[in-house]
Structure 1
Amino acid sequence: MRAMFRARKEVFIDLLQWDVPALAGEYELDQFDNPDAEYLILLADGCTHRASARLLKTDRPHLLGDLYPHLCAGPLPTGPTIREITRFCLDRHQRADERRSARNQLVTALVEYALETGLTGYTGVAELAWFEQVRRFGWACEALGQPMQHGADLLTALHIRIEPDTLDRLRGAGTYEALTHALATTGSEGGQ
């Protein structure tokens, strides 16, 4: 967990210059890193962070519902089978090809996790350029409203539907990649 929070600080605060808190100047955490949060963490060599994502229950406080509901033109998808993907983080200390592989493995793990646990979808908030990438991963992904200016960024709310053929769709888009390293799931429903 520490490696993930450290990697998040390096990406979101140091690289992307987000104005979010850093615990002890070393770890990126916010009010949503609480006992209800779930994490998928892709590890190398047992404890080296490669990639991670935080999953928030949408029937509890979450970013889109609490901080960015204005990004949605209609009803916000919520409920016990929908999670919000936040803090999708690729470790900066990897080569470009390693980051791409970690990204693909994490996307694959998100779909496999959803299918195994009965999740039907994910929501999220993304900068417009990142949303365009996410949409091309192969899964059914749609904007929930028009992009809106937030500071220097254009932000978009998104909804990803997880369906029985989603893994096949990832394969067709060239995004599917089986795990070659360990995946840790932590949180209220995951083990460690």
Structure 2
Amino acid sequence: MLIVIPGSEVGLHPALMDRAYRFRHTIFVEQKGWEELRRPDGCERDRFDDAHAVHHICMRGEEIVGYQRLLPTTRPHLLSEVLSDLCRQPAPRGPRVFEWTRFCVAPPYREMRPRNDSPLLELAQGVVEWGRARRVDTVTVAIDWRLMLIAMQLRFSIRPLGFPKRIGRDDVVALRMSFGQDTLEAIQAARGTTEPVLAPAPWPTAA
């Protein structure tokens, strides 16, 4: 089950969010080598971690095993302000388009052929469930190009926005990814269940 914390409620869950920011730092800085994100306190946060961000945290018991963030493209976001060089033309924006960012999975759970209990599948289903509940059907992303293959298998409709660029140890590409009922069904089939992944409320013991 994913824990969803709107940016406006981060202050209600300081302990869990501190762990999430440290998880991001471990993955992106220490493992992926995105040195521009390094922080002395070991917490990876940026100017987009504001009241408009939406945080999804994937747990296995008390352990964080995955994380992702959704940002409205009607406001400044990574592809418009920081990683715009990944796009040959301005990335799509609008009320039905969100940026899917800081997607990461703990090393023991990373697989190019995700198993049915994979955090990757849970996070992907979380994006689709969250989006469909809010009339959002498109996300823009900047991810390692190898994840394109998994996304295509899960029935995301993909359009590259530019060419890959080396960031740290990753070859990162910007994509426009649309989704619908067929995407949800493909993810559910891969997970072997039609159960939703979004928790109805933040985890009560996490704050």
TM-score range normalised by the length of the shorter chain: 0.7 to 0.9
1:103 to 120, 134, 148: 120
More strand by share: 1
1:39 to 40, 48, 55: 55
User: Hey, what does 2:78 align to over in structure 1?
Assistant: 63
User: Amino acid of the residue matched to residue 166 of structure 1?
Assistant: T
Report the Cα distance in structure 2 between the residues aligned to 1:180 and 1:163, rounded to whole angstroms: 15
User: Hey, what does 1:189 align to over in structure 2?
Assistant: none
1:161 matches 2:178: yes
1:50 matches 2:50: no
User: Amino acid of the residue matched to residue 154 of structure 2?
Assistant: F
User: Hey, what does 1:18 align to over in structure 2?
Assistant: 34
User: Amino acid of the residue matched to residue 29 of structure 2?
Assistant: I
User: Hey, what does 1:143 align to over in structure 2?
Assistant: 160
User: Hey, what does 1:7 align to over in structure 2?
Assistant: 23
Range with greater deviation from structure 2 (158-167 or 101-110): 158-167
1:79 aligns to what SS in structure 2?
coil
Distance 1:28 1:100, change over 3 A: farther
- 1:121-172 CA-to-partner distances (Å, cap 9, x unmatched) read 1101123223344333322122122334557653311011122332123346
Report the Cα distance in structure 2 between the residues aligned to 1:49 and 1:171, rounded to whole angstroms: 22
- Answer whether contact 2:84 2:90 (CA < 8 A) is retained: no
Report the Cα distance in structure 2 between the residues aligned to 1:74 and 1:176, rounded to whole angstroms: 39
Instruction: Report % sequence identity.
Output: 26
Distance 1:95 1:154, change over 3 A: closer
User: Hey, what does 1:126 align to over in structure 2?
Assistant: 143
2:118 aligns to what SS in structure 1?
helix
- Answer whether contact 2:74 2:95 (CA < 8 A) is retained: yes
Q: What's the Cα RMSD here?
A: 3.1
Distance 1:105 1:177, change over 3 A: farther
- 1:66-96 CA-to-partner distances (Å, cap 9, x unmatched) read 1222322344211112111111121346586
- Answer whether contact 2:32 2:170 (CA < 8 A) is retained: no
* Count, aligned residues: 184
- Answer whether contact 1:140 1:160 (CA < 8 A) is retained: yes
- Structure 2 residue runs without a partner (length 5+): 1-16
Q: State the TM-score, normalized to the length of structure 2.
A: 0.73
